[in-house]
Amino acid sequence: MPISPRAGQPAAPEDLIDVDALLAAYQDIRPDPADPAQRVSFGTSGHRGSALRGSFNVDHILATTQAICDFRAAAGVDGPLFLGIDTHALSAPALASALEVLVANGVAVRIAPDGEATPTPVISHAILGHNRDRGAAAAGAGAARGLADGIVVTPSHNPPADGGFKYNPTHGGPADTAATKVIQDRANALLEAGLVGVARVPYVQARAAAVVHDYVGAYVADLADVVDLDAIRAAGVRIGVDPLGGASLVYWQAIAERYKLDLDVVNTAVDPTFAFMTTDWDGKIRMDPSSPYAMASLLRLAGSFDVAVANDADADRHGIVTPGTGLLNPNHYLSAAIAYLFGHRADWPAGTAIGKTLVSSSMIDRVGAGIGRAVVEVPVGFKWFVDGLTDGSLGFGGEESAGASFLRRGGGVWTTDKDGLIACLLAAEMTAVTGRDPGALYQELTEQHGAPAYRRVDAPATAAQKKTLAALTPASLDATTLAGSPVTAALSHAPGNGAAIGGVKVVTGDAWFAARPSGTEDVYKIYAESFRGPQHLDEVLAQAQTLVDAALARG
């Protein structure tokens, strides 16, 4: 898709949302459950939509929260529920709606002090912390008694008019497909029934029943167990941080104060219009720390710091900027972080593997082979890393979309959801310990393993075409060669766990492409990589698009 001429430019008045109109639409618009676009739909990161489009309104949140209450009751979960929000305009009213239903259902809710946003990884950390000593002795009835779960109200890096709502069960990570289907189906049934079956109390009563939880103190105090903050402080690493107006702001301020780091928060603005942002590739405001357009303001400050970092609105994604490299491609940073971690975490078990999604760079496979660690390749979605991070069989799980988490320094689980805060702090640790920033460390990897060219392109697709693409098989592509090289693998299931990828991946010895439908937009995505340079990558992408378009045309 073409790059907007306004990409990377400061947001203009006409780019800003009308917050009052958005909040009014949240309360006033009644979604039509007969319209697929207005039903509850859980993608890889929960239900997302906008009140203005009738896809994220009070009825959606009431129904979805009741469905979660029903789900946790059926599973025997009766511990506290940790509830957090980001800084999008729709998050606060959605939290209020959810709280009314949770309390009416007798759920013991834990919330931050009034008005304080809570990052997604902090909710995961809180769930795991509560459950650490409360694990079930055996499976079966009552096994989940006393265990905690959580809800995060966030559309992640999406534009300001959007809202999001996701459930993290007792394992602390994103709910799996089976759980989200149960919740989604129940929520839609409640919408169809006109919310009959939804329990609700007045907000004043719900707020009085909720218990305030010190998320900031608990999370920040524990950080030294996952990142070497002493090394960062001793080396005097100069760190610049842009929270991009999101939930990480007060956490970065607390981190700097507690650990006495040379850390400067360069942007303290919190504004639901996100008027301080530069626009993304399409001219829209989007808090994506992996986008050079959204990160234009921080990139201008790159030379002022040893490493500069940013997070999206719920802080589950990271952006890493260095003086010599600028904004690191997420794949490059993941590769450098993996090489560093597995060389500097002596207490991790020798068999601990590396987790990557199938659209992440093959550089990770080459790094893994070079350090003698297995690479477990799974479908898109951080939920596929939950079990491995929990039991320690994975030391690291990462996605090409700038999301990752890794084990504690001693080898125990830290979070089972993406944690942009520790990913950013790790960049500072890498700089402190090695004397070279992550950009320089990645350059060293390319000298050993080659320099891949990587790109993603989006193409328009109808709902029917997206459904066809999700069901494609390698045989339907009929590809024996790709950009002049023989195909060595054609996949519809991930090799790491055998799960369906919801699309296809075609691999050669020096390149690959993967095609899958978007879960939130009317497009399909083609990811591709070549170790033979940008021109060869263009050839891979051209053939990939031809193959996919032909398969879609055949239906």
pLDDT tens digits, residue range 208-217?
999 999 999 9
Q: Which residues contact 94 (CB under 8 A, 6 or more apart)?
A: 26, 56, 61, 85, 153, 163, 165
Task: Report the side by side order of strands in the sheet with 263-265.
Answer: 263-265, 239-242, 307-311, 318-322, 326-327
Going through 205-364 in order, the beta strands assigned E by DSSP cover 211-212, 239-242, 263-265, 307-311, 318-322, 326-327, 353-357
Please check whether residue 383 is in contact with residue 173, taking contact to mean a CB–CB distance below 8 angstroms: yes
Confidence check: pLDDT of 382 > 80: yes
Q: Which residues partner with 529 through β-bridges?
A: 454, 512
For residue 138, the model assigns a pLDDT of 33
Which entry of 50, 156, 362, 401 is annotated as an active-site residue?
156
Confidence check: pLDDT of 220 > 70: yes
Please check whether residue 167 is in contact with residue 56, taking contact to mean a CB–CB distance below 8 angstroms: no
Confidence check: pLDDT of 428 > 50: yes
Q: Which residues contact 61 (CB under 8 A, 6 or more apart)?
A: 94, 97, 98, 165
Task: Report the side by side order of strands in the sheet with 500-507.
Answer: 453-460, 523-530, 511-517, 500-507, 489-493
240 SS3 class:
strand
Report the pLDDT averaged over residues 471-483. Answer: 88
Spatial separation of the C-alpha atoms in residues 398 and 375, rounded to whole Å: 11
398 sits in which H/E element:
strand 394-399
Q: At what angle do helices 534-554 and 463-470 cross, to 10 degrees?
A: 110
For residue 234, the model assigns a pLDDT of 98
Report the pLDDT averaged over residues 66-77. Answer: 97
User: Is 401 a residue of the active site?
Assistant: no
For residue 477, the model assigns a pLDDT of 85
Q: At what angle do helices 420-434 and 249-259 cross, to 10 degrees?
A: 40
Closest C-alpha to 290, from 308, 317, 271: 317
Spatial separation of the C-alpha atoms in residues 470 and 492, rounded to whole Å: 9
- What six digits make up the tokens of 439? 């950009």
% of the chain with per-residue pLDDT over 90: 88
Residue 464: count of CB within 10 angstroms of its CB = 10
Confidence check: pLDDT of 207 > 90: yes
DSSP state of 416: S
Pairing, β 403-406 against β 394-399: antiparallel
CA neighbours closer than 13 Å in the CB half-sphere of residue 38: 17
Full-model pTM: 0.96
pLDDT tens digits, residue range 447-458?
999 999 999 988
Which contacts (CB < 8 Å, 24+ apart) does range 175-181 have? 175/42, 175/383, 176/383, 176/386, 177/383, 179/71, 180/42, 180/46, 181/42
- 447 versus 469: the higher-pLDDT residue is 447
For residue 372, the model assigns a pLDDT of 97
Report the pLDDT averaged over residues 235-259. Answer: 98
Please check whether residue 136 is in contact with residue 147, taking contact to mean a CB–CB distance below 8 angstroms: yes
CA neighbours closer than 13 Å in the CB half-sphere of residue 310: 32
Residues in the chain: 555
pLDDT tens digits, residue range 154-182?
999 999 999 999 999 999 999 999 999 99
- What six digits make up the tokens of 253? 């301020």
> How remote is the C-alpha of 97 from its chain's centroid?
24
527 sits in which H/E element:
strand 523-530
- What six digits make up the tokens of 546? 């031809």
* Residue 370 amino acid letter: G
Q: Which residues partner with 530 through β-bridges?
A: 453, 511
DSSP state of 11: P
pLDDT tens digits, residue range 120-158?
999 999 999 999 977 643 334 456 789 999 999 999 999
Mean pLDDT of the chain: 95
Closest C-alpha to 43, from 493, 555, 518, 396: 518
pLDDT tens digits, residue range 400-416?
999 999 999 999 999 99
